[in-house]
Structure formats: C-alpha cells, structure tokens
Structure 1
C-alpha cells in the first residue's frame, strides 16, 4: 500500500524552498527499533519495490490506485525484496521512498503546486543530497532512527553512498550496487543528448505541457528512453538478443516514414527500442526525466571534501560495492576505485564483482547473483559468507578490513 506523507517546509540545496514537501513511500515488514532497511530506487523507478504485503502502520494519506495509475504498477525488485528473499521482509522493516522530482506521488514537476496547478519547471532543481535529506525527514516521521542498512542500485547507489557521507552515524551498512562516486564523461554526454531530445520536442513548450488540451513531448521522451536503454545493455547481451535480424511483420514500430525503409530492413533491435520507448512515455513524465538525470549528473561523492576517502572517513559502518563485468554505465573499475577510497577512509569494505554480460540491467535481472551477497552482507557485513571481495586474498589492503575469501555466490535463495 502506497502512502504519502507531508514532511513540511523543505529547503533544497539550490536555495529554493517549498512549503509542503510530500513523499510517496511504501513499507514492508514490522519495525522492531533496530531492523530498518532503506532501499533507494534507480532513475525511473518508484517506491513500489516489492509485491510483498505492504505495512499499514503509518498515518500518511493513502494514495491507493492513484500511484498505480501513474504507471509503476510492477514491483521493480520483487525477486530481491520480500518474505524469505535476500532483503527479507519477515526480518527487516523495509522502506522505499519515491524521490522528490519524480512522478510517482512525491512532490515534483507533475505534482500540484501551491496554486493547485502542476509545478512544471517552477519546481526547484533537485540533487541526490536533497533525496537523502528528504528520506531522513520521512524516517523521522515514521519513528525510525538509525538504519540497519541502506541499499541502492544505479543512481540509487549514489543515494546510498550519500547516506554514508551525510549521515554517517545513522546507518550501519551501505550496499552500493552498480554505481559509482560520480558519472564519467561519456555518460554525462549521453544524458545531455537525452535531455536535448526532450527540450527540442516542440510539445515540451518550456516544460508547460500539462492539461488535457496540450500534447506531451512524447517523441522527445521516447528518444531519451531509447538512449537510456542502449546505456543499460551490453554489446554481448544486445548481440545475443537481437543480432542483425530483421523484425517480423507484426513487430512494433510507429516512427515517421523513412524513404529508405522500403529497401532496408526494420531490425529486431529497432523494434525493441521503439516498443520500450512507447511504453515508457505512458508511465513517466518528461520534466521529471530532466530533473532526475540532472541530479545524477551533478552527484559527486567528494563534493565539499578533498577526496572520496575524506567524504567517507566519518562513516563507521561497513560498505559493499557490487559491480558487474558487462556494465559500461557504471563500470567495475569505478567500483574498484570507490572501494579503494573507502578503505583509505578506514571503512571495512568489500568489492564483490559479478561476472555478467547483461550490462547495467544486471542488478535488476539477475537476482540469483545479487541476492546472496546482499543477504549475507545485511546479516554479517563484509564478512558475510557469499560476499566475495575481489581484492581479498589473505585480507584486504588497508582499512579495518575483513577476513579471508568466502564461499562463491550461490542461488539457494531463489529456488525454482
């Protein structure tokens, strides 16, 4: 059950304030004072992380079907979060919050502002730090003090890292999955192209496109999503799924007429991108896409400090960096650098590498690889049985460290 809670007046890092920040969230399991796990969603995800029965022990305003109508009806990490799963909702009290700036019930461009009209681009620019501070505010309302863990993937992993930096005494364990301390230049460039696709769509109209009589910038948002999907897949997975095959007669495709199309084939990979782009425009908001990609692009763990190590030095908990070999959006090397910085900051750290050719999407589509190390890290920290540190032979170089190599990843949590 999704609920919305007002956390009152909120001042964003840009310096602007709104009088009433509303946050959509879901909770799962029972809170015992010491078992809260915050799960941070990725760029276009929502608070609906699991199909497990959601707790109803809050005083927020029930949104019910209103959020499902917004589009994210399918739980995005249902194979990882739930009863008996890696993040076990019979053991942990799990909270997932839709970040400010998004479009699934929290305050953002498509939400109503003080004049009861959508904010549009009048909504203040948001940062990952704003997300963290807003989550802290909501957790206070829910009576949750120190967190057992914060877990996040992709930009949600940046959100998790920001907790270790911003509230180092408020969390015991941080799992940063398929993420990095900051985006590299190539990804910054692709995000810029995606935003340009939206803002050059005539229907974007400077961000003022809300209302039944106004068309939304669907073409621009669809193009942005196509770029995103290419970023999330690896060369190997794209080759395996699509190759150079031509699509069949019934393949999805409603793009503008191409005068050369009568001669050249419409390929399966084109059909895949078109289908996913079309479905995305029915569930997500173009302005929110602009806001959230800007927040991801801007994040830098070392901001305000001399280095990543200094940013994490006050964190006395443990850190798991989990990366995937086929991911070129957030690479293994970026996770390796993050883990080294954490150790330099004297943080007990493990860098667990999963051999996968699924690309960035691996953290969503390979629960058999993600689940065991997450489960054991939540239970036992970096010494967990299924947590393998790539730099750990007889012990890690630097930091407070962890023990010798543990058992390999297994799939026992995910029986057929």
Structure 2
C-alpha cells in the first residue's frame, strides 16, 4: 500500500520553494534499527517496488505514514522490481526494512507538476520548481527522518536511481554504509543527452502541450508517446532488437496511435514498429508529460563531480563500501562508465566491487534479468564486496580483480 506524508516547506536546488512537499512511499519488512535499505527507482518508476505485504510501521518501531493512504499503486499496477525485492529475494524483506519513495517531480503520488498547488487549488503544471537528483536525495532524507531511520544499511538504485544512490554517498556519507549503483554512471554522455533533448521536443512541439497547462485533459499524448518510443530504443540493445523483432511484419493493422503517412497502406508495418506503438499507448495512459520533462531534465543535469574537483573528490567523505553493476549490452550506461564510478570509489580507499554481467538485453537488463543481478546484490548486502556467489570468472583474467562476470541465477 502506497502512503503519503507531508514534509512541510521545501526549497529546491533551483532556489524556488513549495509550501508543502508530499512524498508517496512504501515500506516492506520490519525495522530493527540497523537494517534499513533505501531503493531508488528509475526514471518513470514509482514507490511500488514489490508486491509484498507491508508490515505495520508502529509495530516495528518506525513512525507511521502521516495518516494518508494513496491508491495501491498510484496508477502503476506492476511492481517494478518484484523479482529483486521480497522474501528470500536479493533484497530480502525478512532481513531488511525496505523503503522506496516516489521522487519529487513525478506523477505517482509525490509533489510534482500534476499535483495540486495548495496556494491556488490548481495543478502546478510548469509552475512547479525545476527538480534535480540532489532534490530527490534531500527529500528522501527528510522522509527517513520522519520514519525515524537515522542511518541506512544500504542505498540501491538502477539507471537514474543509481545516480540517486551515488548522490547519497556524496551528500550524506555519514548516513549510509553501502551503496549499490546498478546500470548507471556519474553523468550522461552527449549521445544520451541528445536523445533526451529530442524526446522533450516531441512533447513540447505537440499542440496539446499548451505550454504545460493542459490540465484537465489528455494533454500531449502524441508527443509523450514519441518520447517514450525514443526511450525504449535507448533501453534495448542492437542484438536484443534483432532477436526480438528482426524485420518481421507485425501481423496486425497499423493502429491510429500516430497519424499515418500515405505509404503506410502499401509498405510493411513491422513488428518493431508495433512494439513501439504498443509501448507508447500504454505509457500515455499512466504517465504525465510534464513529469517526463522534469525527470529527464534532472537525469541530464546530474554530474557526480559537480561542486568538487573530481568524482573521487565528491566521494571522499564516504566511509562505506560500494558495488557497481554494469551490463555488456547496455549502451545507455556502459561498462566503461560504471568502471569510471568504481575507480572513483577505489581512489578514496573505499572497498569496491564492479560486477560486469553478460547480457544482450541492453539497459533493460537490470529490470528483466533479476537472476543475473541477484547473487551479487544479495551477497553485497549481506557480507560486503567480498561476497559471492560468483562463477565462471575466466573472462576476467585480463581485467582488474574487482571485475567478475555474473552468470549464476538466484531465482532459477
């Protein structure tokens, strides 16, 4: 069950404030004073990380949720990391007290563009302040204060959630013991920045965007659908797209998701087009266009070294342990980018492991191949960077000892 808490006035990094920051969050397991794990969601994720019965906060010694209960999933029915978080899974809710909060700027229950501005009674729209990853981290710290959690056993996140996890090591080094940065980087490269820029322009060029003041109503569904399609191309690898779609015909009629060109009736409507159209149709029903603009801006803006002389300098105060996980088929956040993060941790003397997982699934691998991630993550949470089980390390002989391909499956 998703709960909401009011955390009072909040000033964002941009200098603007709102009178009351609300966060939607979920907790799983029981808190024992030293077993809290914060899970940071990816770009369009929510607080609904797992389909696990939530324990009573008061019974576990943690403060309750402020007396307000949201819809079960705030519109996102599927628990986005259900194969990783839960009893006997990599983040075991019988051992850990797991917290996941929807970030400010999103549309799944936390304060953001579609939320009501208490001063006007209308949706914020683009009057909502610009948000940064640092704002997410500070908001999560406020939530943990509310819950009575002083220190985290670990913070774990994938994709931009991994940036969020890295920001915890930078911003609150004394509040977290272990950082798991999965399929992420210290900053986006120019190619991904370019794709995100085109995606935003697809939204803002849609006449139905109306400068961000499209509430109530459907808003710029065509623009948002195109933006999501660009995202899906970025999340998949060349090999996975070839294996999944090839050049096959879709076997169904061209939908009316987007206006069709005159040649659409003559040329083949391909399986890959059908997939992208289906994803667009689903996405516009569950996500807000303004939130997509805000969250991609936050991801694009993030730079671990901002305010410091280097990535290592930004992490110098962190005195815990770090796990970096990367995927060979991921060109959104590459193996090389993950190794840059691992090197920054090592430069500070932080015990660090970088696990490279062989996968053709692209960036989506951290969501769709939990069996390959599970052993490294579970071992790291339990025993630190020396943990296993890791097998088939022959291909790591020409790499630093911290590298190890992961093939074993926790869930098979």
1:132 aligns to 2:143 (yes or no): no
Cα pair 2:165 2:180 within 8 Å, conserved: yes
SS of residue matched to 1:82: coil
Report the CA distance between 1:391 and its aligned residue: 11
| Cα gap change, 1:39 to 1:321, in 2 (>3 Å) | same
Cα pair 2:356 2:404 within 8 Å, conserved: no
Residue 72 of structure 1 is matched in structure 2 by 76
Residue 8 of structure 2 is matched in structure 1 by 8
Residue 21 of structure 1 is matched in structure 2 by 21
Distance 1:313 1:390 in 2: 33
The unaligned stretches of length 5 or more in structure 2 are 58-63
Distance 1:208 1:10 in 2: 23
| Cα gap change, 1:81 to 1:267, in 2 (>3 Å) | same
TM-score calculated relative to the size of structure 2: 0.94
Q: 2:178 aligns with which of 169, 173, 182?
A: 173
Cα pair 2:116 2:122 within 8 Å, conserved: yes
Residue 196 of structure 1 is matched in structure 2 by 201
1:42 aligns to 2:42 (yes or no): yes
The 5 Å alignment of 1:15-414 reads: 15-57=15-57, 58-65=64-71, 68=73, 70-114=74-118, 115-211=120-216, 214-249=217-252, 254-386=257-389, 409-411=407-409, 413-414=410-411
Higher mean C-alpha displacement, 252-261 vs 359-368? 252-261
Residue 60 of structure 2 is matched in structure 1 by none
SS of residue matched to 1:287: helix
SS of residue matched to 2:202: helix
Report the CA distance between 1:71 and its aligned residue: 2.1
Distance 2:48 2:19 in 1: 26
Cα pair 2:27 2:97 within 8 Å, conserved: yes
Cα pair 2:38 2:156 within 8 Å, conserved: yes
Cα pair 2:327 2:356 within 8 Å, conserved: yes
| Cα gap change, 1:268 to 1:184, in 2 (>3 Å) | same
User: For 1:220-259, what per-residue CA distance to the aligned partner results, in whole angstroms no more than 9, with x for missing partners?
Assistant: 0000000000000000000000000111135755321221
The unaligned stretches of length 5 or more in structure 1 are none
Distance 1:85 1:194 in 2: 35
Distance 1:299 1:254 in 2: 33
Cα pair 2:107 2:291 within 8 Å, conserved: yes
User: For 1:33-53, what per-residue CA distance to the aligned partner results, in whole angstroms no more than 9, with x for missing partners?
Assistant: 000000000000000000011
Cα pair 2:355 2:404 within 8 Å, conserved: no
TM-score calculated relative to the size of structure 1: 0.93
Cα pair 1:4 1:25 within 8 Å, conserved: yes
Report the CA distance between 1:110 and its aligned residue: 0.2
Distance 2:19 2:172 in 1: 24
Distance 2:98 2:366 in 1: 18
User: For 1:170-203, what per-residue CA distance to the aligned partner results, in whole angstroms no more than 9, with x for missing partners?
Assistant: 1000000000000000000000000000001000
Query: Could you say what the CA RMSD is over the residues aligned between the two structures, in angstroms?
Result: 2.0
Count, aligned residues = 404
Runs of 4+ in structure 1 over 2 Å off: 59-65, 249-255, 386-397, 405-409
Distance 1:254 1:285 in 2: 17
Cα pair 1:6 1:21 within 8 Å, conserved: yes
SS of residue matched to 2:192: helix
Distance 2:395 2:195 in 1: 31
SS of residue matched to 2:384: helix
